[in-house]
Structure 1
Amino acid sequence: MLHANAVLTPRQRLRLARLVVEENWPKSRAAEFFGVAWKTADRWAERYRSLGKAGMVDRSSRPRTSPGKTDPATTKRIVSLRLRKRWGAVRLAAETGVAPSTAGAVLRRCGMNRLSRLERREQVVVRYEREAPGDLLHADVKKLGNIPAGGGWRFLGQQAGKANRHHDGGRARNRYRNPLMGHGFIHVVLDDHSRTAYAEICEDETGPTAAAVLHQAVAWFAARGVTARRVLTDNGGCYRSRDWATACAELSITAKRTRPYRPQTNGKVERFNRTMTSEWAFAQLFTSEADRRAAFPAWLHAYNHHRPHTGIGGHPPISRLTNLPGQYI
């Protein structure tokens, strides 16, 4: 690998060597032309004569022999004691008759200088799926910044996006003196078994809004033959509110929350959010927030009815809700 201040790349070395060897340039002239020392030009020319083009790459700086290197038997014993006894470099040195720095160097070379690397265990990925639709719903809120008229910075660049934001924004400013465009809050309720999703774009993420979305989501699933029994959420404020608890009680749904700082537990809806942002929110240039929101229902329908889902064998989510009228429209 070339260092940051290298004057000659392998390609430039080849040019220099060919000028000297094939075109009979004086080495001093070639060195002056490429801005290097005469000795450097001489070295690459001689390598080209003996090795050709293959000689233009860097050679390893590792010495051919290392007389002071710890012998294999001692290295093996240090490694064995480290694995069995978990001893440090000082104790290993006293046991094997080498210096502590030598024992430490052996451990670093073998990747065993940290005990944490010896405690690695295979992590068993626990995947679960409810047996029937409605056994578990996942709920979450995805917050997205609104798009200014003319388009945002993701497609137009920082300068044009900032100009559109200043032109379309109001008087309210953030700490960077940029106009506040507001946010859209996509409330998502996703069925664990089928991955079928119900979603609404709202103006806030308060308890009453989340409760209203849950009522509408349960009715939407009921129209498709799915009876909701349990709902899993994170620990957001809207899901800890009294309105959410009341809505779950009215719908006879058991409310569960994930352990704090463990979004993996609600991973199915988190993955839906990622798909939603990449395939809808940031998939193309929208010149206004209204245009982006207008495109959302069509994308959600395509997700539920047509898009293959790898988690269920490459079939669309709606295929797991059987005997539905218009299921494959």
Structure 2
Amino acid sequence: MVHRNAPLTPTGRLRLARCVVEEGWPLRRAAERFQVSHTTAARWADRYRQLGERGMCDRSSRPHHQPRRTPPAIEAQVVQLRREHRIGPLRLAARCNVAASTAHRILTRHQLPALATLDRATGEPIRRYERARPGELVHIDVKKLGRIPDGGGHKTLGRAAGRRNRNGVGLAYLHTALDDHSRLAYTEDLPDEKAPTCAGFLIRATAWFANQGVTVERVLTDNAWAYSKNTWLKTCRDLGIQPRWTRPWRPQTNGKVERFHRTLLDEWAYHRPYTSDAERQEAFADWLHWYNFHRPHTAIHGQTPASRVTNLSGQHT
């Protein structure tokens, strides 16, 4: 990589060297023309004589001899422990009796990725994917959320009073359908997650996506009981949708909607104290509209979900 303040790129070096070697320019004239020192012009001319065009590229600054480099046996131990136990530089340093910075350099030298990019269960790099067009795959999942009693819960009243006030309020079942390509989301608060409820949600979600110009082709769910019943399968068949299921014990397969639910909790459900469940539900429609049409989404390079659906946000009119 060329230094950002370098006066010559490889192409500029080649031009300078050819002026000196092939066209016979004096070194001082070439140095003045290319605005470099006399010694710099001489260095690139000599390298061109020795190596030709391939000598114009940058060389590694690594020294030829490194007497204080970590011994190969210790490097091998660091790599082996990382692959077997999936631990970071600090713990590797303690086990191998080296500095944490040394352990980090060893991992970098052997091109071992950061732990955050690995699946902790298998140690394999996380494979990310994205469907090519809206509607090709829609993720569906249910998030259970405790309802807020009238007067507020523990965030409003404190732990003791909130515990006394929460009896009998039950759970909210937030059913979400999220488009894989655009991250456009549709969510309903329903009383349960039984097969008829899930099937009814799919019908309404499909109609909502159709109003946004998205035709749902496939749906991906986990292996919950409701998604394996004939009610669900018949609804998918009637709508012309292909059902898909995640691998058992692998929620990462449905990770996009799982991540949406985390955003939903952070930015809506737990964003501020509510005095009742009705107050929280009243705030949800505005939040979901903001998420779909105005909130920059980091996973799609700062775009909004609506901007990835043809002219849904009106940006072309």
TM-score by length of 2: 0.62
Distance change (3 Å), C-alpha of 1:249 and 1:155: same
Deviation at 1:242, TM superposition (A): 1.8
- Cα separation, 2, equivalents of 1:85 and 1:203: 51
Distance change (3 Å), C-alpha of 1:83 and 1:108: closer
Structure 2 residue 155 is matched with structure 1 residue 154: yes
Gap runs ≥5 in structure 1: 1-74, 87-105, 112-117, 166-178
Deviation at 1:194, TM superposition (A): 0.6
- Cα separation, 1, equivalents of 2:132 and 2:231: 29
Counterpart of 1:137 in structure 2 is 138
Secondary structure of the structure 2 residue equivalent to 1:215 = helix
Counterpart of 1:203 in structure 2 is 191
For residue 234 of structure 1, the aligned residue among 222, 225, 238 is: 222
Output aligned runs, 1:189-200, within 5 Å: 189-200=177-188
- Cα separation, 2, equivalents of 1:300 and 1:107: 48
Distance change (3 Å), C-alpha of 1:109 and 1:298: same
User: Is the contact between residue 145 and residue 171 of structure 2 (CA under 8 Å) also seen in structure 1?
Assistant: yes
Identity among equivalent pairs (%): 50
- Cα separation, 2, equivalents of 1:81 and 1:232: 42
- Cα separation, 1, equivalents of 2:136 and 2:198: 20
Distance change (3 Å), C-alpha of 1:154 and 1:227: same
User: Is the contact between residue 194 and residue 320 of structure 1 (CA under 8 Å) also seen in structure 2?
Assistant: yes
CA displacement, residues 122-172 of structure 1 (integer Å, 9 cap, x when unaligned):
44332111110000000000100111111111343201212322xxxxxxx
TM-score by length of 1: 0.60
Secondary structure of the structure 2 residue equivalent to 1:219 = helix
What is the root-mean-square deviation of aligned Cα atoms in Å?
A: 3.3
Counterpart of 1:270 in structure 2 is 258
Mean CA deviation greater in 282-291 or 128-137: 282-291
Counterpart of 2:290 in structure 1 is 302
User: Is the contact between residue 143 and residue 185 of structure 1 (CA under 8 Å) also seen in structure 2?
Assistant: yes
Counterpart of 2:231 in structure 1 is 243
Runs of 4 or more above 3 Å deviation: 75-86, 106-111, 118-123, 324-328
Secondary structure of the structure 2 residue equivalent to 1:186 = strand
Distance change (3 Å), C-alpha of 1:78 and 1:129: closer
User: Is the contact between residue 152 and residue 161 of structure 1 (CA under 8 Å) also seen in structure 2?
Assistant: yes
Counterpart of 1:292 in structure 2 is 280
Counterpart of 1:319 in structure 2 is 307
Aligned positions, number? 221
User: Is the contact between residue 140 and residue 188 of structure 1 (CA under 8 Å) also seen in structure 2?
Assistant: yes
Deviation at 1:311, TM superposition (A): 1.2
- Cα separation, 2, equivalents of 1:287 and 1:207: 32
CA displacement, residues 199-256 of structure 1 (integer Å, 9 cap, x when unaligned):
1000001111111010111111111211111111111222122211111111111111
Deviation at 1:258, TM superposition (A): 0.7
Larger Rg: 1
- Cα separation, 2, equivalents of 1:274 and 1:79: 41
